[in-house]
Structure 1
């Protein structure tokens, strides 16, 4: 009788192992899934980016190169270990998957081409796979000369995906537009408020008023939603302007977005002042499931 129970128990263990193995196999991704990146970069001979992707927990491959049109990207030195071997950078680990990042350096063999935009890349892995991956949208453009009639005085960010940038006017000027890169792509995700404050440079009340905004909840922040701002508007010397940005806390997008503040000084000089919004991903299990569902339309029970 004991022998019979032994074989029954052994059989149940075997069946359980087969079922678990089949379940784990069913959760495997056919290929890595890249998060949506919205990156706006000033073109140089070469420039650097960090990409994030989900892959299977048992995936031992690393990225060898990333190609888009004539642009080529290769892992930087920091993507290798002390012995020169590819380093796998796992940012987060889940039941069946890992979130990885890779730092790459882009090269453009055609130095006279200063603008580019692409939404997918051919990614070559060390195991020989070549994956054409949607990556969001990457833009590169030439640098613009900034005459700086707006002085960037401070900035801040918090864990709830809010950010602030504060400016002081160095001379009277007119703000004619405030825009940001990927505005069409991100208008349903990214909220921006503008707030102006009159005051002299040495006014402690003015400094304190702006400082207090750093810890405010989004709904408590003064200002006008960008889509409701009436342009143009005039600012005097030593007036202040703040630009607040917010992404949903559930956002899984990787951002390096440029905000462009453009206008004309009282002396008639056109200007464009820029600031940035940079976010890095932190995923919850539900985020992983939704990302896989959106990218593969498959079962995602994490």
Structure 2
């Protein structure tokens, strides 16, 4: 009788361990999952700029980026060392931590000389191939990244932005003053269609649309008037670093284009991680 109970207990432990192992395996990623990124940036000649790319990777075997390839252009992490190239787990500094995964980020650097700008002065990509330090690689949708050859004579000093604020709730604002009397006619980005449903934008309380074809209306400002632009991002699990171009005409009839930035790092919880894992399993 006692031996029977003992065997029942042993079998129960084995079944439990098998169940735990199968559950653990079901929570492991076959490959890292990259979040969606929406980035735009204007480049001067000889300019170099870095963007953070966020991805989920298993705690048990975290992967680090060796380099990426986008539209035949290779780009590398900032401050990459020889140790980074030979070690897969050195210097793991997670942005966040979950039950079985880390959220990591690597700043990937792009230089003006390496960018194959199109005839319209832009270059964009939505898919990248990622090569990891352990020899693994994946090709994945990244969202959308757009670069632009810097516009000349844009009279960017028409508005002087002095204060910028943002928080983890997707809310932010920037304030500035006009340097002369002017009218803001519209706001554009290089990602208008991608962002028109993600960003709620207001100028001095007036809601505006991110559209190349829609004018703001009456946004007339005198010299030294305060201008406050408020923004709210709905997709908190995405990464944003987007240039906004305020376009208009000064009182003297001179056109201007003043750039400013909307920036937000992704915020995800365990529930969102589970959703991303399920979505990845279906692909």
Q: What TM-score bracket applies, with the shorter chain setting the length?
A: 0.7 to 0.9
Given the alignment, which residue of 155, 161, 184 partners 2:193?
A: 184
Q: Does 1:75 align with 2:72?
A: no
Note the alpha carbon deviations across 1:26-48, whole angstroms, 9 max, x for none: 22222211000001122355321
Which residues of 2 match residues 216-255 of structure 1 at below 5 A? 223-227=205-209, 230-231=216-217, 233-248=219-234, 251-255=236-240
Deviation at 1:281, TM superposition (A): 1.6
Residue 126 of structure 2 is matched in structure 1 by 119
Alpha carbons of structure 1 residues 111 and 53: separation in structure 2 relative to 1, 3 Å: closer
Q: Does 1:87 align with 2:73?
A: no
Greater CA deviation, 287-296 or 183-192? 287-296
Which residues of 2 match residues 137-152 of structure 1 at below 5 A? 137-144=144-151, 145-147=153-155, 148-152=157-161
Question: Pairwise CA RMSD of aligned residues?
Answer: 2.6
Q: Does 1:27 align with 2:27?
A: yes
- Judge conservation of contact 1:74–1:105 (CA < 8 Å) in 2: yes
Following the alignment from structure 1 to structure 2, what is the Cα–Cα distance between the partners of residues 55 and 24?
Answer: 14
Residue 207 of structure 1 is matched in structure 2 by none
Residue 67 of structure 2 is matched in structure 1 by 65
Following the alignment from structure 2 to structure 1, what is the Cα–Cα distance between the partners of residues 179 and 92?
Answer: 48
Given the alignment, which residue of 169, 175, 200 partners 2:178?
A: 169
Greater CA deviation, 12-21 or 233-242? 233-242
Q: Which runs of 5+ in 1 are unaligned?
A: 196-222
- Judge conservation of contact 1:79–1:103 (CA < 8 Å) in 2: no
Following the alignment from structure 2 to structure 1, what is the Cα–Cα distance between the partners of residues 116 and 139?
Answer: 27
Greater CA deviation, 29-38 or 107-116? 107-116
Following the alignment from structure 2 to structure 1, what is the Cα–Cα distance between the partners of residues 97 and 135?
Answer: 24
Alpha carbons of structure 1 residues 98 and 264: separation in structure 2 relative to 1, 3 Å: same
Deviation at 1:282, TM superposition (A): 2.1
Following the alignment from structure 1 to structure 2, what is the Cα–Cα distance between the partners of residues 120 and 83?
Answer: 23
- Judge conservation of contact 2:158–2:178 (CA < 8 Å) in 1: yes
Note the alpha carbon deviations across 1:106-134, whole angstroms, 9 max, x for none: 24665673631000101011222220011
Note the alpha carbon deviations across 1:236-281, whole angstroms, 9 max, x for none: 2122221100013x62010001111111112222111111111112
SS in 2 for 1:59: coil
Deviation at 1:84, TM superposition (A): 8.2
Residue 105 of structure 2 is matched in structure 1 by 101
Alpha carbons of structure 1 residues 48 and 163: separation in structure 2 relative to 1, 3 Å: same
Residue 49 of structure 1 is matched in structure 2 by 51
Alpha carbons of structure 1 residues 60 and 246: separation in structure 2 relative to 1, 3 Å: closer
Greater CA deviation, 88-97 or 9-18? 88-97
Given the alignment, which residue of 139, 144, 159 partners 1:132?
A: 139
SS in 2 for 1:89: coil
Give the TM-score of the pair, scaled to structure 1: 0.80
Residue 154 of structure 1 is matched in structure 2 by 163
Following the alignment from structure 2 to structure 1, what is the Cα–Cα distance between the partners of residues 85 and 65?
Answer: 17
